[in-house]
Structure 1
Amino acid sequence: MKSKRKNDYSKLKNKIFLKMILVIFATVATVILLRFAIQKYFSFGDTIADFLMNIFHIPDRTAIMITHFLFIYNIEAITLIVILIFLVILLKFSISWFTKYFDEVSDGMDKLAEEYDEEITLSPELAFMENKLNQIKNNLQKQKKAALEAEQRKNDLVVYLAHDIKTPLTSVIGYLSLLDEAPDMPLKQKAKYVGITLEKAYRLEQLINEFFEITRFNLQAIVLDKEKINLLLMLQQMADEFYPMLTPQEKQVSVNVPDGLTLWGDADKLARVFNNILKNAVAYSYENSVIDISAVQQDKNIVITFTNQGNPIPQGKLDSIFEKFYRLDTARSTSTGGAGLGLAIAQEIVTAHDGIISVESNRESTTFTIKLPS
């Protein structure tokens, strides 16, 4: 692997400086030499006159007059013209040397646009630009890969959700058909079928909402409407709302937040963040366990934690848990399966509040931590 070269302009500046010094010295030396050579050569008027007489058969006096009027008397102008012509040629070569760097950078940009697979290589003095281009290329490749993976996950989820919608829909149609075909069905049996139908209808509604969630995620910009939030009151109300989900498995939520702790933020959107995290904690916690929600003031920040006891999140998946359409439960169980957007949306909202969200998981517990400016 090629060693990393110095990422600054020093090599290019030094080389340009040396080239400029060389061009200046070459120009001065050339001017002196040309002036000396031209004036020395044209000092031999007889030689020029003889040349005119022998080649063009011009009379002596006429040849001498032509020599004096055209050459001897205009020696300074002739010298200047010759020097200027040489300087133009020298300048052209100098500019060509400088512009080769622009050509290299342009070629590197073309390779970047063409998604060139190999590493972009420039001259040693353009190492700083080479590093920048390769860094951009690597970032673009990572973004493209992430976008393709997210798109593939989204497509898979759409297929999964479409398949999952069919199951409750079939049940709804089946039980409604039974109720329609047997109007004199016993009340107890009818109540049982109505309850199952309602349960499947709620599941169907949930899956349809997830379809809308997938579409809205990329189209909806996050606009914050900040206000003063009573954090204890918000989290207690949220815990109460989850009571129907907690009771069947005898789970509990413990809210440990100091009275009077306030937060400046968008109440609706932060409620969505806390809801998504708590929903995740409820889905993946053990039966008969307690989910702890705590909040403390740390300097100018408020730190909120959601801790649950459950199977640990594999370390290899912790970095991906906040990605769009990422789901831990690859089996897509109906009890925990979602669109894989809850935590991704939570991160977007927390980031919009200039906050940070993170997760830690071990054999004992999983903790989501949210740090927000107070």
Structure 2
Amino acid sequence: MKNDFSKLKSKIFIRVLLIGGITIFIGLGIEYILLDGFLQNFFIENFIDFCKSGLHLDSNASSKIYQYLLRNNKGLLMSIGLYVLLLFIFYQSLSRFIKYFSEVSDGLDQLLEESVDEITLSPEMAFMEAKLNKIKITLEKRKKSAQESEQRKNELVVYLAHDIKTPLTSVIGYLNLLDEAKDMPVEQKARYVGITLEKAYHLEQLINEFFEITRFNMTTIVLNKKEINLQFMLLQMADEFYPMLVPKGKKVEVNVQDDLKVYGDVDKIARVFNNILKNAIAYSYENSTIQISAERQQCSIVIVFINQGKIISKNKLDKIFEKFYRLDTARSTSTGGAGLGLAIAKEIIDAHGGTISAESNEESTKFIVTLPFNI
């Protein structure tokens, strides 16, 4: 910031020196040219002539006025004159300084009005011009991102509302059949009850998606930190996902030292790993292995999730941690989710002072979580 103001400070300093120099030069000029210099007699004669003609005084009285009023008070009059002159010149210069504030104020107005024009200031205010334009670009990006996020959210809500109708219609239909056919065979009744229960679970999942959207917008992340054994957490999580892995021949391998620990919020860190692993399972090939590893690197703990699946394009990787963004919009909400999992994971990791990123190539997709060793 000091370097930013150097050009402006230099200009102000030069202007102050210039004001002082001009004031001294004019003051000395008045004293040594007009009062005590070669124009002294000319000044005295004109002053006396003024007293005679304007004030109707005689030569003797006019001379005494000059003597007592000007000659004997020359120092005081010079001081007053220089002070007035200094104020006048300073006022003129101050108007230039005020212009800088006016330019910044106009620039801020452009930010508030969301003007499309680039903010332009004086050359010596180039640093402030660059900062204001940077803020302008940042605000425009945030506005665009918020609009896109809101649009995705609205689209998702429409999809969810539409999807809710299907299982709800099925639940009502099968319940009506069960209610109307009192003598329905036991096997058929059991099949209808099973279908109804399945549709009800699906309906519950869709409703939970709505709650997830609301919680994401309203919840402020509060951390309750404690020591976490990474190996135990990740192994336990892999066991919990076993029913999702087996039907498609997938498995999870955890390669973490048994004494590797990190300090953070247990529930929230578990939610991060849960969301990443769920995403890896959803988008990995059948009969493939998802690898999870963790190691200490200098002052950080790095946890890596690798799965074999279709390559994720650079454009999608840039948006993968945005809320309501879904990698595959063609996937149904029952499998694709609300597009909040990775966005929530990023917020949690950010709150812990860590980072989360994704890489993808033709062979695999990798999610990398970095957490400070001592949070």
Q: Determine if the TM-score, normalized by the shorter chain, exceeds 0.5.
A: yes
How far apart are 1:59 and its partner, in Å? 4.9
Residues 165-180 of structure 1: pairs in structure 2 closer than 5 A: 165-180=164-179
Q: 1:265 to 1:33 in 2, by over 3 A?
A: same
Name the stretch that deviates more: 359-368 or 200-209: 359-368
The one-letter code of the counterpart of 2:5 is Y
Distance 1:47 1:333 in 2: 101
Q: 1:369 to 1:87 in 2, by over 3 A?
A: closer
How far apart are 1:220 and its partner, in Å? 1.2
How far apart are 1:86 and its partner, in Å? 2.3
Residues 122-271 of structure 1: pairs in structure 2 closer than 5 A: 122-271=121-270
Q: 1:231 to 1:34 in 2, by over 3 A?
A: same
Q: Can you list the C-alpha shifts for 1:324-354, whole angstroms capped at 9, x where unaligned?
A: 1110111142442211000111111122222
Match of 1:361 in 2: 360
TM-score when scaled to structure 2?
0.89
* CA-based RMSD: 2.4
Distance 2:46 2:228 in 1: 104
- 8 Å contact 1:250–1:289 — kept in the other structure? yes
Q: Can you list the C-alpha shifts for 1:219-238, whole angstroms capped at 9, x where unaligned?
A: 21222222222322222222
Distance 2:117 2:60 in 1: 75
3-state SS in 2 of match to 1:224: coil
Distance 1:49 1:85 in 2: 25
- 8 Å contact 1:161–1:207 — kept in the other structure? yes
Q: Please state if 1:8 is matched with 2:4.
A: yes
Q: Can you list the C-alpha shifts for 1:100-128, whole angstroms capped at 9, x where unaligned?
A: 22222222222222222122111111111
Work out the number of aligned pairs and report it: 368
Q: 1:58 to 1:94 in 2, by over 3 A?
A: same
- 8 Å contact 1:46–1:64 — kept in the other structure? no
Identity of aligned residues (%): 61
How far apart are 1:272 and its partner, in Å? 0.9
Q: 1:36 aligns with which of 27, 32, 37?
A: 32
TM-score when scaled to structure 1?
0.89
3-state SS in 2 of match to 1:255: strand
3-state SS in 1 of match to 2:193: helix
Segments of structure 1 that go 5 or more residues without pairing to the other structure are 1-6
Q: Please state if 1:22 is matched with 2:18.
A: yes
Match of 1:4 in 2: none
How far apart are 1:372 and its partner, in Å? 2.3
How far apart are 1:57 and its partner, in Å? 4.4
Q: Can you list the C-alpha shifts for 1:176-214, whole angstroms capped at 9, x where unaligned?
A: 111111121111111111111111111111111111111
